[in-house]
Structure 1
Amino acid sequence: MALSPGQAQETMPPPPPPPPTPAVDEGELVVTAIARGADRLTTSISVSSIGAEAIQQNAPRSVAEVFRNLPGIRAEASGGEGNANISVRGLPVASGGAKFLQLQEDGLPVLEFGDITFGNADIFLRADFSVARVESVRGGSASTFASNSPGGVINLISKTGREEGGAIQGTIGLDYGEYRLDADYGGRLGEGWLYHVGGFYRQGEGPRSAGYDGNRGGQIKANITREFAEGYVRVYGKYLNDRAIGYLPNPVRVTGTDANPRYENIPGFDINNDTLHSRNFTTVRTLDGENRPTIRDIRDGQRPLVWSGGFEASVDFAEGWNIINRFRLSDISGRFISPFPGAVGDAQATADSIGGPGAQLRFASGPQAGQAITNPASLGGNGLLASIVLFDVELNSLNNITNDLRLTRSFDAGAAEIDITAGFYASRQDIDTAWLWTSHLLEVRGNGDAALIDVFNASGAPQTDAGAVAYSASFFGNCCRRRYDLRYTTNAPFVSGTARFADLTLDASLRYDFGRARGQVFGADLGGGRVGITAADLNADGRISVPETRVGTIPYEAPSPLNYDYDYVSYSLGANYLVTDTAAIFARYSRGGRANADRLLFGPAIDTVTGRLIDANAGVDFVRQAEAGVKWRQGGATLNATAFHARTEEQNFEATTQRFFNREYRAWGVEVEGALRRGAFLLTSTGTWTRAEITSDVLNPAVVGNRPRRQAEFIYQISPQYDTELFTLGANIIGTTASFAQDNNALKLPGFAQVNAFVAVRPLPRVMVSVNANNLFNVAGFTEAEEGNIPANGIVRARAINGRTISAALRYSF
């Protein structure tokens, strides 16, 4: 993928092909997390962008696969089209999502909090032909020009139709099941009017063998702009209706030692290409979020349903004065449902733990349903059973409304040009979700063929019901039948000042965030005599089976309130010195905060009677960052290098392990990005070296001094590309050194390099045929593991990047 700092294209270029795109477009302005658009060479922030053509060339399978090409960004792109863990510059991913990094569309957050449990912001994002470029700011002014984003901002910027044209493209998976159609068009409607519309639809099994079409749905985005002499007004909308499998950890065999492990496929199950999803496990009985019997469809997977609309207006209303306002209202709902292996072990031993000594097994689904399993040691070709906790979550409402208003005064003060900006940001974020987890037994078999397994005791009495062990999370101690009904309001006045001297630019900014957390939660996990298990005849057969004695229920009769306020101050100071017309040096120091949201609930930080904070400091975590660097560009070459140091506070909750975190971290290192264009050849590259450690841990002091889990010392990407009028070919190499699976710093996740490759041929005017290979060499790259040591049976539950997928596309530009 050609990562071109400063490169963006509003439309796909129609043949005949234009001359090779320069590595840097010196005219493009940075627009993310700053007061007003500015040339990156004169700003004291670390900013990069990826253009539309570069995104499409490598056919990323998710937005996380786009983000990992940005310097300093650690994107664990192993969860499918969403549910990725994303961080920046050594800042921790203690639980999941993107806590310290805000994901935006057109300058406003997708969600106010990027780590809502089972509602990560990237689930509600798609990269298609409507995106002009992806812009990122690491550290720096992200603390003061956006709320809850002290680590940085990644902003998907939409095309507006300023350049007339568009394209339609059909894509087919050559070695995996997927069909996709992308299209966009934009241009001028008349004097002063611009428009753009774009979107996609796709359907197929997806990059792993699930046994059914796990990815199906699409998106459409549109905007219309009225330009006039003093500015513009833009109105836009988005509709996303999609289903995409959410890949959770899968079993893999690990031999050797913790320090030198060897990861191997389990017989019958390929860690790169298989998943614990199956055509034989598509529905489940349970109680819904209102405690009513229902049947849930596991094929919904990650199910975002988004209606959003808003406007952006910029007006120069007097000499030197500008006002800009961005507003968006989003109606967001959906579902997250995916099987998580609470444990993977010997089939007979697992059955005995449920049905007692001498327990018997039978197939509960699939072509052998009802047949006895006479040799459990051969089940699935490996003799293993997965004790599945089905993560089943209703996303009733993640609705949000946001508004960002800025007033800027620019004037000449003689020795310096001065910009003063004052603004006010306001948002309201709903978190209304219901956790409806259930427990099941599933054989470990690939190709989407895994069957549910029933257990009978030695006397032949059934202990399970169509593979269901309990209609609750029995493998997690019957926890987590929960309902969240929460509202978070955020308000933030902010001010910034920039002084530009001949070669020196100084800037300072200040932001004051104050907010409220209101609502209530329900769940037996709150204690106080609350009951979360009942008996119910879910299948209405007139009897109560053993699993039906363990039915999870939400105790609505005993709510716990949420009722606290918080406030904090963020600031950022920066300086940039233009050494020559082509080189600059800069330095910055910032402090930013992140208000904690739903992950504080059901833990020690909230009083379950009053809903107030027990620890007044628990409401906000702070990040303090210092950075200094150099920027250089000349002709077709660029080089940017930044040294950084960060201290981070972290309070969090992890659903998969039921653990709370209360820690402090330190990280320091260097990030580098460069691009070189020589004739038809373009080379872009990024690399980030990071040293990080846990400096304090209230709940687990034994890990102090250790490297945070999954934090590699070095991550990198290298993208060579060769362009001619007839064809383009290139590669994109994403790499990481080894990291530790858990904070105990024992079991290692090996380093790996993933190679993506593409070739595009233009045989006719306006026509392009391309082939893209993702993970060309089918490398097994592990991004996380549940175990901190190799267990006695050698089975580790881990998430790996997808195996090789090759797609072909035909595009017509107009």
Structure 2
Amino acid sequence: MKRSPTLSLHPIAWASLMALAQAGTAYAQTVAEPAAATATATPAVSEAPAPAATSAATGASSDGLKLDAIVVTGTSTARSKMKQSVSISTLGAEQLQNSTATSAAEVLRAVPGIRAESSGGEGNANLGVRGLPMSDGGGRYVQLQEDGLPVMLIGDISFATADEFVRADYSVNAIDVIRGGSASTLSTNSPGAIINFRSHNGKDSAGGAVGMSFGLDHRQQRLDFDWGGAIGDRLYAHVGGFERMGQGSRNTDLTAENGGQVKASITKEFDNGYLRLNVKHLDDRTPTYLPVPVALNGNTISAIPGVDPRNAYFINSNFPIDTVIDRNGNPQVTNPADGLHVQVDAIGLETQLKVGGGWTVTDRFRRSANSGRFTGVFPAGGQPAGYTGTTPVFSANLFNTSLDDMGNVFNDVRAQKEIKLDTSKVTVTGGLFSGVQNVAQTWYWNNYNIGLTGNGAALYNNAGSPTTAPVGNAPTTWGGCCFRAIDVRITAMAPYAAATWENGPLSIDASVRRDTQDGSGWQRFGSAGGTTMGAWNAAVDKVSFSSSANSYSLGGNYEHNRNLASFARVSHGVSWKSPDRVIWDTRAAAGLDPYPLNEVDQLEGGVKFRRAGFSAFLTAFFAKTKEGAGYEVTSQTVKQNAYDSKGIEAETTFSTGNFRLASGATLTKAQITSGANSGNIPRRQANLLYQIAPSYTLDAVEIGGAIIGTTKSYAQDDNVVELPAYTVVNAFANYEPQKNTLISLGVNNLFNAIGYTEAEAQGSQYVARSINGRTAKLSFKYMF
């Protein structure tokens, strides 16, 4: 039986929550603080205020981009968007509520410049930005953060992408997305973008909410909740999370969704700063959606009869168990129905203090115990050569990867001082980021014959008889690549410095960073018989490397008037590949050859403008990327290329009366500049991405939606097979029957469009992954 998340918390997290609850109870019994005091209390050291949410009752803001909101994510100095020399978007609580998104990564499709391929379910998304290449899975140039610290140090770890460990629920206050700019120097492995999920802290909003949602055309139930407010004298608390159960967005006869999350924080303010303790527990099982068999007619992809790429899912009650070998060579029985199962227990401490002499010191620390299992069906070819049955089947490898230890410990400390000159001022910042990221996984991928049908697929042996057993074990999968255990610890250290000079409307900022990452540990490959790990071979199995690189960024902003500003910036940044993609090269694993790095040079400039209900943020960009060598398992190839990209991204909002229109677009021209495919367009890179989101409020009713689209792209760098253009329409309707009560109807992919996000050849068969088909849900929310 699955345990309730609140009952399986890490002991430290559980003790912290109990202390929080007891403090709140004791305070409630002794003091009743007036509501006004909660609303007007101001910390001695200011934090960035949350962007104001627009309610149905008040109508849309005249500045929908909130250009006066203070920005701290990915910047050295807390200033408004209008004064920053970076491109940044903020998704507030209302946008998250109305997005109809089914995962944290899918929310990001509303952000210009970001290419969020969220077709894999709750996790395993591919994230790109501004034409930087998606040469492997995950987000190699994007750093996902929670409250200012990385979720995972490296963005492209196979089977453990950062979005797998993040959930968007009521505990999220807003999401900041900074593209390019100082992201290169103010975080590690983030030259493309920083995406920061900012949590409520109990001071940014008083009160709480509880909500229930139900799938109307699919079996799904979900409970969301949060509460925050003052519990003492300058003492604030917040707790929030969710619990869900169901089959997921695609049809199956199993309970494929099962789990939830609890996050909590307690903040104490002092005369010279604040101290915040935060904890998180996540234990969640969700289905993993991978590519499915398709037909290829010339360079055109089409669906196979009986296998609808929008809803095909092959794990059901006919697929009961999968027996694997663990890292110690012992048999282990696993349940494919668990899909993506992630567990997180995290505890963090954030402090900000004025320490004298004009200096302010901010320190953020978090320890996360991350683990789980990634299970999903990946087609590995057409009908096997040795198959003699009459029922159509396809050969499939079951990705069954144990995430033995993906935990990490991060700390970021920075000191800042403002120096006033005659007619200007200089703000200087110095900081040190340090951390440890574990990458410990065990791969054991059996091979199955699966009936060629999208619903109720059964397993067959080579004679065509129903079975529950594999037809091949891990040593036979893709040439024996995938019976493997790795255990590598990455130690990161990055001192950084920044300075900002401000003189009236002009500001100029510069920042530098020195990243060093050391790796140590081992890798082992399984025996040919598939029953135990191979013998230790120090020449092959030992992992020990060290690598360093510098990053810099220089930008300037000029505020022509309070409604118009322009900026420009040049940056150089780096990112490290995940060790599981590199240590196939035993010389790089042993430190005999340099560890391959990815380098990005960027030039950007833009304008910010607002007037009479209209606001716009326009940025032109140019980037050059040079990638180090990395191994891709499914194609059995080493990828190493150079790329150019240039384009324009636009984010606008317009409001008049009760009507509001938000829109965004990214026009990109990208090409490969090295190797056999030089001159071609990088795989999965469309020329145009766009988002249009209108809404209208009439008394207690708000209706709206979003049109999200992409022009065609190519499945691979050879530019042969096309991924067709597609448009997705999402819709929502909110009704407020009485104050603090909201009833919502949301439909994702209203017109049931097919949208292929990736595709590749597997033997004699082509496979492709599509976005999910239409899903609808009904939600009830009560706010107090």
**Contact 2:582–2:588 (8 Å) recurs in 1:** no
Match of 1:450?
Answer: 457
Displacement of 1:552 in angstroms is 5.3
C-alpha distance in structure 2 between counterparts of 1:649 and 1:7, whole Å = 38
Aligned amino acid, residue 751 of structure 1: A
Q: Deviations over 1:606-647 (max 9, x none)?
A: 356xx1142x2x432211111011111234321111111111
Match of 2:210?
Answer: 168
Match of 2:550?
Answer: 569
- Aligned counterpart in structure 2 of residue 322 of structure 1, from 360, 366, 379: 360
Q: Secondary structure, in 3 states, of the residue corresponding to 2:105?
A: helix
**Contact 1:483–1:523 (8 Å) recurs in 2:** yes
Change (3 A) 1:641 1:386: same
- Are 1:521 and 2:523 counterparts? yes
- Are 1:680 and 2:658 counterparts? yes
Q: Secondary structure, in 3 states, of the residue corresponding to 1:606?
A: helix
**Contact 2:523–2:543 (8 Å) recurs in 1:** yes
Aligned amino acid, residue 401 of structure 2: V
Match of 1:511?
Answer: 513
Displacement of 1:656 in angstroms is 1.5
Match of 2:768?
Answer: 798
Displacement of 1:10 in angstroms is 7.8
Instruction: Give the percent of matched residue pairs that are identical in Structure 1 and Structure 2.
Output: 38
Match of 2:320?
Answer: 282
- Are 1:59 and 2:36 counterparts? no
C-alpha distance in structure 2 between counterparts of 1:130 and 1:9, whole Å = 15
TM norm structure 1: 0.87
C-alpha distance in structure 1 between counterparts of 2:661 and 2:546, whole Å = 50
Displacement of 1:21 in angstroms is 4.1
Displacement of 1:58 in angstroms is 2.2
Match of 2:670?
Answer: 692
Aligned amino acid, residue 407 of structure 2: N
Aligned amino acid, residue 764 of structure 1: Q
Match of 1:188?
Answer: 230
C-alpha distance in structure 2 between counterparts of 1:273 and 1:765, whole Å = 38
C-alpha distance in structure 1 between counterparts of 2:87 and 2:582, whole Å = 35
C-alpha distance in structure 1 between counterparts of 2:727 and 2:493, whole Å = 43
Change (3 A) 1:473 1:452: farther
- Are 1:108 and 2:140 counterparts? no
Change (3 A) 1:88 1:756: same
Match of 1:754?
Answer: 728
**Contact 2:418–2:425 (8 Å) recurs in 1:** yes
Displacement of 1:475 in angstroms is 4.2
C-alpha distance in structure 2 between counterparts of 1:173 and 1:318, whole Å = 56
Match of 2:536?
Answer: 557
**Contact 2:543–2:583 (8 Å) recurs in 1:** no
- Aligned counterpart in structure 2 of residue 245 of structure 1, from 278, 283, 287: 287
Structure 1 gap segments, 5+ residues each: 1-5, 362-375, 525-531, 535-550
C-alpha distance in structure 2 between counterparts of 1:600 and 1:268, whole Å = 35
Match of 2:782?
Answer: 812
C-alpha distance in structure 2 between counterparts of 1:106 and 1:306, whole Å = 16
Displacement of 1:319 in angstroms is 5.4
- Are 1:667 and 2:667 counterparts? no
Alignment of 1:227-246 (within 5 A): 227-246=269-288
Q: Secondary structure, in 3 states, of the residue corresponding to 1:66?
A: helix
- Are 1:138 and 2:145 counterparts? no
Q: Secondary structure, in 3 states, of the residue corresponding to 1:299?
A: helix
Change (3 A) 1:766 1:466: closer
- Aligned counterpart in structure 2 of residue 743 of structure 1, from 705, 709, 717: 717
Match of 1:33?
Answer: 74
**Contact 1:24–1:636 (8 Å) recurs in 2:** no
Q: Deviations over 1:725-784 (max 9, x none)?
A: 301110111100000011110110000010000000011121111100000000000000
Q: Secondary structure, in 3 states, of the residue corresponding to 1:354?
A: coil
Aligned amino acid, residue 435 of structure 1: W
- Are 1:703 and 2:677 counterparts? yes
Higher mean displacement: 220-229 or 551-560: 551-560
Match of 2:25?
Answer: none
Alignment of 1:563-642 (within 5 A): 563-604=544-585, 606-607=587-588, 611-614=590-593, 616=594, 618-642=595-619
Match of 1:645?
Answer: 622
Q: Deviations over 1:203-246 (max 9, x none)?
A: 11000112211111000100111112222111101000000111
- Aligned counterpart in structure 1 of residue 420 of structure 2, from 387, 407, 412: 412
Q: Secondary structure, in 3 states, of the residue corresponding to 2:247?
A: strand
Alignment of 1:189-204 (within 5 A): 189-204=231-246
- Aligned counterpart in structure 1 of residue 192 of structure 2, from 151, 159, 164: 151
C-alpha distance in structure 2 between counterparts of 1:96 and 1:248, whole Å = 12
Change (3 A) 1:210 1:643: same
Change (3 A) 1:273 1:187: same
Q: Secondary structure, in 3 states, of the residue corresponding to 2:631?
A: strand
Alignment of 1:695-734 (within 5 A): 695-696=673-674, 701-734=675-708
Match of 2:124?
Answer: 83
C-alpha distance in structure 2 between counterparts of 1:756 and 1:638, whole Å = 23
Change (3 A) 1:218 1:40: same
Q: Secondary structure, in 3 states, of the residue corresponding to 1:643?
A: strand
**Contact 2:572–2:601 (8 Å) recurs in 1:** yes
Q: Deviations over 1:164-217 (max 9, x none)?
A: 111111000000111000000101112211111100011110001122111110
**Contact 1:62–1:80 (8 Å) recurs in 2:** yes
Change (3 A) 1:754 1:11: closer
**Contact 1:94–1:652 (8 Å) recurs in 2:** no
C-alpha distance in structure 2 between counterparts of 1:172 and 1:334, whole Å = 27
TM norm structure 2: 0.90
- Aligned counterpart in structure 1 of residue 57 of structure 2, from 2, 12, 17: 17
C-alpha distance in structure 2 between counterparts of 1:735 and 1:613, whole Å = 46
C-alpha distance in structure 2 between counterparts of 1:320 and 1:509, whole Å = 21
**Contact 2:208–2:228 (8 Å) recurs in 1:** yes
Change (3 A) 1:804 1:644: same
RMSD of the TM alignment (CA)? 2.0
Q: Secondary structure, in 3 states, of the residue corresponding to 1:786?
A: strand
Change (3 A) 1:685 1:20: closer
**Contact 2:51–2:69 (8 Å) recurs in 1:** no
Alignment of 1:394-473 (within 5 A): 394-447=402-455, 449-456=456-463, 466-473=468-475
C-alpha distance in structure 1 between counterparts of 2:272 and 2:227, whole Å = 26
Q: Deviations over 1:129-167 (max 9, x none)?
A: 000101011011001000111111000000111221111
Aligned amino acid, residue 767 of structure 1: T
Change (3 A) 1:19 1:688: closer
Q: Deviations over 1:519-572 (max 9, x none)?
A: 111116xxxxxxx212xxxxxxxxxxxxxxxx3542143351111111111000
C-alpha distance in structure 1 between counterparts of 2:531 and 2:93, whole Å = 47
Displacement of 1:311 in angstroms is 1.1
Structure 2 gap segments, 5+ residues each: 1-47
**Contact 2:682–2:717 (8 Å) recurs in 1:** yes
Match of 2:333?
Answer: 295
C-alpha distance in structure 2 between counterparts of 1:9 and 1:583, whole Å = 20
C-alpha distance in structure 2 between counterparts of 1:159 and 1:465, whole Å = 50
Q: Deviations over 1:387-411 (max 9, x none)?
A: 1111111111011000000100102
